[in-house]
Amino acid sequence: MSETARIILDGIEYELPITEGSEKEKAIDISKLRAQSGYITLDYGFKNTGSTKSAITYLDGENGILRYRGYSIEELAEKASFLEVAYLLIYGELPNKTQLNSFTTSITHHTLLHENMKRFFEAFPAGAHPMAMLGSMISSLSTFYPESQNPDRSVVDIEKTIHRLIAKLPTLAAQAYKHNTGHPTVYPSNDLGYCGNFLKMMFGLPTTPYEVDPIVEQAINKLLILHADHEQNCSTATVRVVSSSQANLYSSVSAGIAALWGPLHGGANQAVIEMLESIKEDGGDLDKWINKAKDRNDSFRLMGFGHRVYKNFDPRAKIIKKAADEVLGQLGIEDPVLEIAKKLEQVALNDEYFVSRGLYPNVDFYSGIIYRALNIPKDMFTVMFALGRLPGWIAQWKEMVENGEPIGRPRQVYTGANHREFVDLNSRD
């Protein structure tokens, strides 16, 4: 007999089925509760509510485990390329050499943008936030590829849409950066890898040959892998809900971009650097700010420490800390802000207050440090996050479409006024 949960409502007992995941996670299936009893469940922020079954990413916050399709994040970050991981997330298995070559070739030959898109960038004001430009430009891709708006198109056409989006996002991101610097567009190079090509489009100039630093390229590769998916987070859930209406992939990802932009989500690494800059501008007295963080009556809190899901440690942070050390060592950077970051890291790793509360440096802390070291502007940090997260969004979209999941439609508990009679305007007080 299958396992069930029992709930008593208004003296009537209801049996609810228990479902179990492949990692022994258990959930109470309430999908028929409202139809049977008239009751719904209330869960602010959906912290305890599963919205779907997914075979993509496994996350165990208590034990610091993150796996993509069963593969540990530690192994993938150490041994795989970003495009290998993208293929894994989207198609379910690591590619063989033939599959990877075909996938890479397709993406390489879809990196160019329609020249008319330059006019869109030209219309944005100088200093426009790159995330605003990125979201707008991604959504506009559906106008250049109208076949993407057909939910019943062929598998071949769906593949083209997926490959185009993966290929064009770095180009769009780099052009957003170039727009704000006033520098000319640098076109993609088919002889470079995914991460190296992005770096060239970002920092290259038509007047000077650009050499990709392998240490920097590898660090970017790791960062993108570490951000590639993270279960049903805010932006991923947004992509799934939007696409559940059969909105096209470009629009769905654009919605994910908007969700990611918030400082409580993708904007956290930018907040880290802004905090470190504030400490420097205040004179660099780290002890003062440590004491503020410990003071319950002080509104200040350290950014880039602890995690809402990982209770003991963030497995991604250990990996990216090593990459951060390599980048800083290779580049020989002398930056007072980064010096403050190093000192703060040591305090957090050794001070009993932080250790006992699980306030360890997380992936946002170290990624912010790397991006600053690479001269990537703060307002581009979240764009970098989006570059990494794209394969996860696509995989989640693809899974939802293939499973034929229903349109997202959360319920609510109404707390407004009861029925009222309309009062004519002349009779109102």
* Same-domain check for residues 111 and 44: no
* Same-domain check for residues 61 and 175: yes
Q: How far, in Å, CA of 280 to CA of 274, rounded?
A: 10
> For the domain that residue 23 is a member of, what is the CATH number?
2.20.28
Does residue 419 lie in a domain region? no
* Same-domain check for residues 166 and 258: yes
Mean pLDDT of 262-281: 87
> For the domain that residue 354 is a member of, what is the CATH number?
1.10.580.10
Does residue 39 lie in a domain region? yes
**pTM beyond 0.85, yes or no:** yes
- Which domain covers residue 105, as residue numbers? 54-405
Q: 98-107, 112-121, 342-351, 416-425: which has the minimum mean pLDDT?
A: 342-351
Q: 159-168, 324-333, 403-412: which has the minimum mean pLDDT?
A: 324-333
Residue of 229, 307, 314, 379 marked catalytic: 307
Residue of 364, 379, 419, 424 marked catalytic: 364
State the sign of the Cα–Cα–Cα–Cα dihedral 239, 87, 230, 212: negative
Q: Report helix, strand or coil for 256.
A: helix
Does residue 294 lie in a domain region? yes
- The DSSP 8-state label assigned to residue 380 in this structure reads G
Phi, psi of 59 (to 5 degrees): -130, 125
Tokens representing 172 are 């769009």
Closest to 312 measured CA to CA, from 65, 25, 70, 58:
65
- The DSSP 8-state label assigned to residue 148 in this structure reads G
Phi, psi of 305 (to 5 degrees): -130, 135
Does residue 428 lie in a domain region? no
Does residue 63 lie in a domain region? yes
* Same-domain check for residues 10 and 88: no
Tokens representing 227 are 């951000």
Phi, psi of 403 (to 5 degrees): -80, -10
Cα→Cα distances 141→33, 149, 210, 413, Å = 41, 11, 29, 38
Task: Say if residue 71 is exposed, middle or buried (CB neighbours under 10 Å; 0-12, 13-18, 19+).
Answer: middle
pLDDT tens digits, one per residue of 326-385: 888 888 877 888 888 888 888 888 889 988 888 888 888 888 888 988 889 999 999 999
Does residue 413 lie in a domain region? no
Q: What is the mean pLDDT of the chain?
A: 92
Does residue 156 lie in a domain region? yes
Work out how many domains the chain is built from and give that number: 2
Q: How far, in Å, CA of 288 to CA of 294, rounded?
A: 10
* Same-domain check for residues 59 and 21: no
pLDDT of 71 reads: 97
pLDDT tens digits, one per residue of 27-61: 999 999 999 999 999 999 998 999 999 999 999 98
Does residue 178 lie in a domain region? yes
Is the pLDDT assigned to residue 1 strictly greater than 60?
Answer: no
* Same-domain check for residues 203 and 255: yes
Task: For residue 307, indicate whether it is catalytic.
Answer: yes
* Same-domain check for residues 179 and 129: yes
* Same-domain check for residues 182 and 306: yes
Confidence of residue 268 (pLDDT cuts 50, 70, 90): confident
Task: For residue 129, indicate whether it is catalytic.
Answer: no
